[in-house]
Amino acid sequence: MRIRGYRGFILAILMAAMLTGIWSPSAEALSQPAGERPHYQLEATYSAKDQTVRGHMKVRLPDRREKAWKDVYFHLYPNAFKDWKWGAESRPEKPGHLKVSQVKVDGEKASAKEKGTLLRIQLDRPLADGKTALVEMDYELKLPKGGTRLNVYGNTAFLAQWYPMLAVHDDEGWHTDPYTTTGDPFFSQISDFEVTLQLPEGYQVISSARDPEQTSSTVTLRQERVRDFAAVITKDYEPIYGKVDDIRVNLWYLKGMEDVAQPLHDAAISSLSFFGKKFGAYPYEEVDVVLGETGYGIAGMEYPGLVTSVARIPTRKGEQPAINVVAHELAHQWWYGVVGNNQVKEPWLDEGLTTFSELLYMHEEKGEDERELLMRAAQRTDEIHKEKGVTSVESLYKYSDPIYGLMVYTRPAAMMWELVEKLGKEKVLEILHTYYDRYQFQTATTEDFIRVANETAGQDLRPFFDRWLFFKGER
């Protein structure tokens, strides 16, 4: 995501809602062998009239695990909008929710308990390594009005984190971290999706998958190897289509954005191409950039194959097309999308690398040089660290909003620029390229990143990273 505020970092996002449906199993999908990735089948019907998505979901659980599972957790993030616990400034105008019912495991009724944004399903028989199970449930999503990310705006539903999302289980156990308003409090693993949508008359869908250009009332979308599946259901947006090699790059805009739509589509094409050359190939067929507001304090938001960005940002030269926000969100396709990380535990890892990627693109392609400003902002983090003890490698819950941007975005981006000074740009790009190759479709950690940097640079950069990220020793 990109934060509004701190010059350069000024804007907002959008994303929100939709669907409902009744599931009819496809023999092909059900007979698919289990694998290391979860496989979701979602059937969903969107009612524009009551802004609700109703449907049925089946998830085939991955078959690789260290320890037998006695239970399974799903995140019900939209329930954060039911009883808003955070600041009044980000409170939705109308609440939303995600209700589940008829939970079954392998066709048998299962005991399931909902608590806030979490669903715990008890397994009657523990699930051993090499074994899979099919979890299914009915669900009803009520879209909040004026929600952050998940939202309804005019004749558009922004569906973000809109279905029960399987929590991540690793050697630390289940990751059941609750929703919060600082940063992107989401963590999920690479999965495969088959989503069948029933749309109201005249609506079309823009999603994480390759989308049909023709509008029809039933749409089936398939996308493999993504961490999440976002969709925008709309009858208001207009497209500009384009391509980078074989990748379809589409920009979607509303009335009143005509003047910025073309420059932002050009920026989407040139930044996607730039990042592909520098870091490694974008692995999907399509990416959509949807212009609009995403919620309080947010300028843009990333999902696999789909990003949102505000249309314009205030700058020293007045209001300008939000080129750097589009570039930022597209860089997240590499850092967060393909190479994942636990965004709750180590948010710097995707936000820091993404901010650096954004600034590198703005520097090389647009001639903007923010390095001095960045270094000054980094100095400020030394003072903050002295006052509060907080570093750049902390969980989301440790940061207040103003400190979050400086510690998690700015300081790590300044660190990467200093690494360029130290090793040369080509070596730093080689580090990022190697990191991308090695950890694609996986979850990387700070330690993984440092290991790749050391190996690629052929020297011990530990003291450098200790100073910049953990505030150990003098910078």
User: For residues 186 and 150, is the Cβ–Cβ distance under 8 A?
Assistant: no
Residues 260-299 close enough to bind Zn ion by CB under 5 A: none
Three-state secondary-structure class, residue 430? helix
What's the min distance (Å) between Cβ of 168 and Zn ion?
20
Q: What angle do CA 173, 177, 181 make, to 5 degrees?
A: 160
Task: Please say which residue, 92 or 300, places its beta carbon nearer to Zn ion.
Answer: 300
Task: Please say which residue, 1 or 344, places its beta carbon nearer to Zn ion.
Answer: 1
153 Cβ contact partners less than 8 Å away, ≥ 6 residues apart: 14, 16, 292, 293
Task: Please say which residue, 1 or 57, places its beta carbon nearer to Zn ion.
Answer: 1
What's the min distance (Å) between Cβ of 2 and Zn ion?
5
Rg from Cα positions in the chain = 22
Residues 351-380 close enough to bind Zn ion by CB under 5 A: 351, 354
Task: Please say which residue, 325 or 431, places its beta carbon nearer to Zn ion.
Answer: 325
What's the min distance (Å) between Cβ of 351 and Zn ion?
5
Task: Please say which residue, 250 or 354, places its beta carbon nearer to Zn ion.
Answer: 354
What's the min distance (Å) between Cβ of 464 and Zn ion?
23
What's the min distance (Å) between Cβ of 392 and Zn ion?
15
What's the min distance (Å) between Cβ of 364 and Zn ion?
19
> In whole angstroms, how far apart are CA 434 and each of 58, 138, 243, 456, 475?
36, 42, 26, 8, 26
What's the min distance (Å) between Cβ of 183 and Zn ion?
9
Only one residue has tokens 């009551």, namely 50
**Residues facing 41 on adjacent strands:** 58, 194
User: For residues 56 and 235, is the Cβ–Cβ distance under 8 A?
Assistant: no
**Residues facing 42 on adjacent strands:** 57, 195
What's the min distance (Å) between Cβ of 67 and Zn ion?
33
Helical segments of 200-295, H only: 258-279
Burial class (CB in 10 A: 0-12, 13-18, 19+), 245: exposed
Task: Please say which residue, 118 or 291, places its beta carbon nearer to Zn ion.
Answer: 291
Round to whole Å and give the CA distance between 143 and 179.
17
Task: Please give the residue whose beta carbon sits closest to Zn ion in the complex.
Answer: 1
Task: Please say which residue, 188 or 354, places its beta carbon nearer to Zn ion.
Answer: 354
What's the min distance (Å) between Cβ of 278 and Zn ion?
17
Round to whole Å and give the CA distance between 312 and 203.
26
Task: Please say which residue, 38 or 340, places its beta carbon nearer to Zn ion.
Answer: 340
Whose CA is closest to 239, among 199, 212, 273, 272? 212
Strand (E) or helix (H) holding 455: helix 446-457
What's the min distance (Å) between Cβ of 272 and Zn ion?
16
Is 407 a binding residue for Zn ion by CB under 5 A? The answer is no
Q: How far is CA 49 from its chain centroid?
A: 28
Task: Please say which residue, 139 or 334, places its beta carbon nearer to Zn ion.
Answer: 334
Round to whole Å and give the CA distance between 157 and 252.
14
- Judged by CB under 5 A, how many residues of this single chain contact Zn ion? 3
Cβ neighbour number for residue 39 with a 10 Å cutoff: 22
Task: Please say which residue, 55 or 352, places its beta carbon nearer to Zn ion.
Answer: 352
Tell me the two tokens of residue 158: 């922004």
7 Cβ contact partners less than 8 Å away, ≥ 6 residues apart: 316, 373
Task: Please say which residue, 160 or 197, places its beta carbon nearer to Zn ion.
Answer: 160
Task: Please say which residue, 356 or 468, places its beta carbon nearer to Zn ion.
Answer: 356
Is 197 a binding residue for Zn ion by CB under 5 A? The answer is no
Is 1 a binding residue for Zn ion by CB under 5 A? The answer is yes
What's the min distance (Å) between Cβ of 4 and Zn ion?
12
What's the min distance (Å) between Cβ of 336 and Zn ion?
8
Pick the stretch among 1-9, 24-32, 48-56, 244-252 that binds Zn ion (CB under 5 A): 1-9
Tell me the two tokens of residue 331: 């860089």
User: For residues 110 and 74, is the Cβ–Cβ distance under 8 A?
Assistant: no
Using the CB atoms, write b or e for 169-192: b if 16+ within 10 Å: beeeeebbbebbbbbbbbbbbbbb
Residues 326-355 close enough to bind Zn ion by CB under 5 A: 351, 354
Residues interacting with Zn ion, by CB under 5 A?
1, 351, 354
